[in-house]
Amino acid sequence: MAKKEETISLIDTFSEFKELKNIDRTTMVSVLEESFRSVIAKMFGTDENYDVIVNPDKGDFEIWRNREVVADEDLTNPNMQISLTEAQKIDASYEVGEEVTDEVIFAKFGRRAILNLRQTLASKILELEKDSLYNKYIDRVGTVISAEVYQIWKKEILLLDDEGNELLLPKTEQIPSDFYRKGETARAVVARVDNKNNNPKIILSRTSPVFLQRLFEMEVPEINDGLITIKKIARIPGERAKIAVESYDDRIDPVGACVGVKGSRIHGIVRELRNENIDVINYTSNIQLFIQRALSPAKISSIVLHEEDKKAEVYLKPEEVSLAIGKGGMNIKLASMLTEYTIDVYRELDENAMDEDIYLDEFKDEIDEWVINAIKGIGLDTAKAVINAPREMLIEKADLEEDTVDDVLRILRAEFEE
């Protein structure tokens, strides 16, 4: 009965191996043979005199042992040698010095050998699966995939691909308004493959600029065909994005092609990104013009560039300032990310009004000196300059509390209202 159980467990081992995905026949035969040899070597100290023949189609195998015929009194190693008497029982014509090959029944090695084989195989199979997973996904970094949401945790979501491989979508790579239920399908870009201690982890991302780029490539045939190039992308995931595109064909309007008729092409992307507002602009290597386009929808009056520091002073009419800055400073932040220039926004001043200006140092009686120094530190020396600077800029650049900025503005404005 025990022998039958052992035979069944060996057949199970083969069937498990045959069901494995992504493992080619040659590798399968090689690993099975290696596993048998490993067990034989542990039992007899060597596997050199054994031939292992694996037949994965039938799920069976043969093991043949080669031994040298020696005189009965010279037998010292029954694994490598066979006595003349024993050899002649197999075939009467055998003589000393010849080689005898006989089949070995693995099941007769006992339960421990079979268990050892299964453990060796399981270990090698696991390594193969890990290598296969790593190789499959290292080539897919930067591509968009769809996978099923399998488990949702606080810090990440576990997804399964079509072959049941595990993929991770960390919270940091999710759009803030992303919400998934188990069983739903999620789309994301393969961000990277970590392989610490040969334990591959496939990390997905929905916040990466590459995800936005791939979505455009899928929706806009002209990008996929190379007629339009995506030059720069800046994203605040789930909120707003700016994408600069360029066409090498004068007959193609790159912005129009990306947006589509009545926004038909961009709508799908916006939905996928949880209503992320996407501005598509024409790229140009003229940095002044590029900054101007990046700050759209605001209309700029003039720009002063400091190319060595990659800084730009942008002057606008008072009514355009809030458009340039955008809700929560988002528009100016994205424009800076897109152009790679630090952008400071200023209201255009009436030249006549400049004559009546007052230096900030004159207000030391009413405003703390450290506050005045903080404001002067961002290049604003006079009362009018502060009044005309955007409130958000004073808070962020001068690193002041909102209440402090409001108090300063109230004091300065009162001076001119008198």
d(CA 263, CA 269): 10
Cβ–Cβ under 8 Å, residues 336 and 310: no
CATH architecture of 140-207: Beta Barrel (2.40)
| Residue 24: half-sphere exposure toward Cβ, Cα within 13 Å | 2
| pLDDT of 136 above 80 | yes
Fold that domain 2-129 belongs to in CATH: N Utilization Substance Protein A; Chain:P; domain 4 (3.30.1480)
d(CA 156, CA 199): 18
Instruction: Specify the pLDDT at position 274.
Output: 94
Instruction: Specify the pLDDT at position 328.
Output: 85
| pLDDT of 1 above 60 | no
d(CA 241, CA 258): 14
Q: What is the mean pLDDT of residues 279-284?
A: 95
Instruction: Specify the pLDDT at position 53.
Output: 86
pLDDT digits (tens, 9 = 90+) for 290-306: 999 999 999 998 899 99
Closest to 295 (Cα-Cα) out of 256, 247, 329: 329
Which CATH number applies to 351-417? 1.10.150.20
Distances (CA, A) of 205 to 166, 169, 200, 231, 303: 14, 6, 16, 21, 37
Closest to 412 (Cα-Cα) out of 351, 346, 376, 367: 367
pLDDT digits (tens, 9 = 90+) for 321-347: 888 988 888 999 999 999 999 999 888
Instruction: Specify the pLDDT at position 62.
Output: 84
C-alpha dihedral, 326 to 328 to 333 to 334, nearest 10°? -60
Q: What is the mean pLDDT of residues 148-164?
A: 95
pLDDT digits (tens, 9 = 90+) for 242-260: 999 999 888 999 999 999 9
The angle subtended at Cα 107 by Cα 102 and Cα 110, nearest 5°, is: 115
pLDDT digits (tens, 9 = 90+) for 216-229: 999 999 999 999 99
Cβ–Cβ under 8 Å, residues 256 and 220: no
Instruction: Specify the pLDDT at position 255.
Output: 95
Provide the residue ranges of all domains of the chain, joining segments of one domain with +. Answer: 2-129, 140-207, 208-283, 351-417
Tokens, residue 241: 């994005």
Global pTM value: 0.69
Please state, rounded to an integer, the average pLDDT across all residues of the chain.
Answer: 87
Higher-confidence residue of 382 and 165: namely 165
Give the three-state DSSP class for 289: helix
| Residue 119: half-sphere exposure toward Cβ, Cα within 13 Å | 8
Do domains 208-283 and 351-417 share one topology? The answer is no
Instruction: Specify the pLDDT at position 397.
Output: 84
Tokens, residue 398: 């001068």
Lowest average pLDDT, out of 8-12, 86-90, 152-156, 406-410, goes to 8-12
In this prediction, residue 99 has a pLDDT band, given cuts at 50, 70 and 90, of: very high
| pLDDT of 59 above 90 | no
Instruction: Specify the pLDDT at position 124.
Output: 81
Most confident of 15-29, 90-104, 354-368: 90-104
d(CA 278, CA 292): 17
Most confident of 13-22, 148-157, 249-258, 312-321: 148-157
Instruction: Specify the pLDDT at position 265.
Output: 92
Instruction: Specify the pLDDT at position 334.
Output: 96
Tokens, residue 410: 């109230």
- For tokens 């994203």, the residue is 235
| pLDDT of 55 above 80 | no
Instruction: Specify the pLDDT at position 152.
Output: 95
Choose which CATH entry (2.60.120.260, 3.30.300.20, 1.10.357.10, 3.90.1170.40) describes domain 208-283: 3.30.300.20
Distances (CA, A) of 117 to 34, 75, 122, 238: 10, 29, 8, 53
Cβ–Cβ under 8 Å, residues 206 and 174: yes
Q: What is the mean pLDDT of residues 176-199?
A: 94
Neighbour count for residue 339 (Cβ, 10 Å): 23
